[in-house]
Structure formats: C-alpha cells, structure tokens
A = this chain, B = another copy of it.
Amino acid sequence: MRSASNDPTTRERIRDAAVLRFARDGFGASVRSIATDAGVSPALVIHHFGSKDELHAECDEQVLAEIRKAKNESIDELAAGQSILHRFAAADEYAPMLGYVLRSLQDGGPVGQTFIEQMIEDAVGYTKHGVEAGLVKPSHDEPARARYLVLSALGMLMLEITLRPPEDPADLGAIVREFLATSYFPMIELYTQGFFTTRRMLDEYLLYVPDPPQDTATEPASD
C-alpha cells in the first residue's frame, strides 16, 4: 500500500521534531538540526514536506490543532474564567506548544495571530460573564477592553521571555508560572483599585469623544 496519507511513523516524527526545534530555537532552526533530532537525513525532510516553508506551515496546523484539543479537554476550567495561558502553564507537557506559540508571536506568524484572536474572543466571553455576575465592571467599549487586556498580558509575557530567555526551553512552563506569579499582585491591585484617584481624564475623554468607537478604534489622533 502506498498509504498515501497515513504512514504515521516517520513523517510525523519529523513534524514533531520540527515543532520542538522551532519552539526551542525559533523558525531559523536549520533543516539539518530537525533531521538530526528525528534521526533522519535532511533530504528526507524535504522529500516528505517539499520545502522548509511547507514544513513550517504543517507545524502551524499541528500546533493549532493541539491548542483546540487542549481547549476542549479543559473546557470546564476555562469556563471558570481561567485563560488558556494558565492552562498551558499548569503542566510542563504544554511547554513545547507554548514555546511554539511565543515564537510564532515573535515572528508575526499565523499561529500567533489566530492565537491572539482566539484569546481576545475568549476574553470577551469571560468579561461578559463577569459583568453579568456582577464581578466585573462594565466597559464603554468591551471589545477594546478585551483586546487591551489580552495584548498587554501577552505582550508583557513575550517581553519578559525575550529579555530573559530560559536556558533550557523545557523550563518554559516554570517561567510562565513565575511570570504569572510576579505579575499577579500589581495586576490584581490595578484591576481592583485602578490607578487614578479621579475620573477626570476618563470623563474628559468621554466628553471629547462622546461615542466610543464600535468596530474600529484605529483612528489616529489627527495631527
């Protein structure tokens, strides 16, 4: 049999090795290093995937599928308001996936983009629940707030990891946990009591722009 699509062993082993190497070293990792990890010749990698770019694309799909799976499996916890980030950080088995996502974030790749979009979408849901339950204050622009919260948290994590990269990428889970731990206090404090003592700046803004944008908030402040 040609087993045109489901010879599960070698091809998948290469793909998995690639995901790991990409997560560890970024997408500049060489085909040769991936081949070595998979115990295979560089030529075979190309033979199976056609090119490095196609291998990259297939890794993207694989990781996105794994994320979907992880989300479905922990849907109960996620419903409680925990983000997928906590879920990833909870178990070290997710470290490669997390590393891959962060690399993709640094690269501006499609995995990073859709990951962020999904997180924003989820955040909209969480805040909606929170508001309805009376735990979260309503916002004049919920999508903008959700987007702000996600981007600031994820960007901060990305920055932290870029500035102090882990010696062993397997420790990524631990690093994210440490990050969540150290960010927790200032975040909770800010979320609880705010930063300013007066409503002046907010009210002035609401006066100046009486109707907060609904779809795109991307109007530059003229000049």
Contacts and interface: CB of A to CB of B under 8 A. Distances in A.
Interface residues of A, number: 67
Interface string A133-155: 01111011100110111011111
B137 A182 contact: no
Contacts of A148: 156, 183, 186-187, 190
A146 to B, nearest CB: 9
Contacts of A134: 197
A105 to B, nearest CB: 7
Q: How many copies does the complex hold?
A: 2
A197 B135 contact: yes
Contacts of A174: 220, 223
B217 A185 contact: yes
Contacts of A116: 159, 163
Contacts of A112: 162-163
Contacts of A151: 156, 159-160
A182 B144 contact: yes
Contact of A198 (B105, B106, B135): B135
A177 B220 contact: yes
A60 to B, nearest CB: 15
Nearest to A195: B191
Interface in A152-174: 152-160, 162-165, 174
Given A144-B182, A187-B148, A196 B137 contact: yes
Given A108-B162, A149-B195, 4 more contacts: A113-B163, A140-B189, A185-B205, A193-B194
Nearest 9 CB-CB pairings of A with B? A155-B155, A148-B186, A191-B195, A155-B159, A152-B152, A194-B194, A181-B221, A155-B156, A192-B202
